[in-house]
Amino acid sequence: MIYLEAIYRHPRFLTTCTYAFYAAFLGRAAGTSVVFGEYVLYAAGHEVNRWNQRAIGLTCITFALILLSTAPNWGLRIQNVLGTFKIVLLLLISFAGLAALTGYIKVDPNPDNFSHLFEGTNSNANAFVTGVYGAIWFASFLLYVDL
* Residue-by-residue pLDDT tens, the chain, 147 positions: 666 677 777 777 787 777 777 776 676 777 888 888 999 999 999 998 989 999 998 898 888 888 888 888 998 898 899 999 999 999 999 999 888 878 788 877 766 767 777 888 888 888 888 888 888 888 877 776 654
Ordered by start, the domain boundaries in the chain are 1-70, 73-147
Would the pTM count as exceeding 0.85? no
What pLDDT score does 15 carry? Answer: 76
Cβ atoms of 56 and 63 within 8 Å: the answer is no
What pLDDT score does 145 carry? Answer: 60
Q: Cβ-count burial of 100 within 10 angstroms (0-12 exposed, 13-18 middle, 19+ buried)?
A: middle
Q: How far apart are CA 141 and CA 31, in angstroms?
A: 16
Number of continuous H segments (helices) and E segments (strands) in the chain: 6, 0
What pLDDT score does 127 carry? Answer: 84
